[in-house]
Amino acid sequence: MAKRRRKPRNARKRRPSSARATWIFVLVLLVLGGGMLMKDHIQAVVQPQPTAHQVTVKPVSGETPAQQAFIQKVATPAVKVYRKNGQVLPSIVIAQSILESSWGTSKIFQQANNPFGIKGSYHGKTGSFVTHEYVNGERIKIHANFRIYPNLTVAIQDHDNVLKSRYLPQPAKNYQEASQKLQAGGYATDPDYAQKLNSLIVSYKLNQFDK
């Protein structure tokens, strides 16, 4: 009588071992794939995205992050107001803000949201600040009352109204014309006011916002 051959003990375990390895490989792929998707999602959430109304600022060589941030801060409402009323070119608005507020570091800007150094009161809101003016060609320090605004957009809108009523009754064709009219009209006592505005506009390519 023939004897039955016994199967090797590990013969039955080979297929389950192969299947188990396949499942482990699939699980590893799922974990890695899920991790990559989660990473992309986190980056998309964390990375700041420009708002719908925020303008794009093209970086300029030699421009500091603080300067770029200030230009962005003023450019967004300046472009918005200009598109609405077509009165004052954004390049002029930004250049005046830079010059008058020393890149947003002046107390008038920080405490009164007044980047243009407009004197007087706004809806009864006014504050006394130290400023510099030119008298007979000499730069002197004085105290004066300046308008206090609730925010930067309101300040730009009021600035447009002031320029339209006193200095630019008709919109200027370009920033050179606007700066010359501002100086000729006595907006500032600085004899080089128009030249300084034009220099800022050229150096930081502010006319990109006029298009």
Q: Would you please indicate which residues are annotated as catalytic (active-site) residues?
A: 133, 158
Local structure of residue 119 (DSSP, 8 states): B
Residue 206 sits at φ, ψ, to 5 deg, of -75, -20
**198 closest CA partner among 107, 72, 89, 79:** 89
Residue spans of alpha helices (H) in the chain: 11-46, 65-85, 90-101, 107-112, 152-166, 175-184, 193-203
**104 closest CA partner among 129, 63, 70, 75:** 70
Q: How far apart are CA 134 and CA 144, in angstroms?
A: 14
Q: Give the residue carrying structure tokens 């199967």.
A: 7
Q: How far apart are CA 202 and CA 3, in angstroms?
A: 101
Q: Give the residue carrying structure tokens 């206090």.
A: 148
Q: How far apart are CA 54 and CA 45, in angstroms?
A: 18
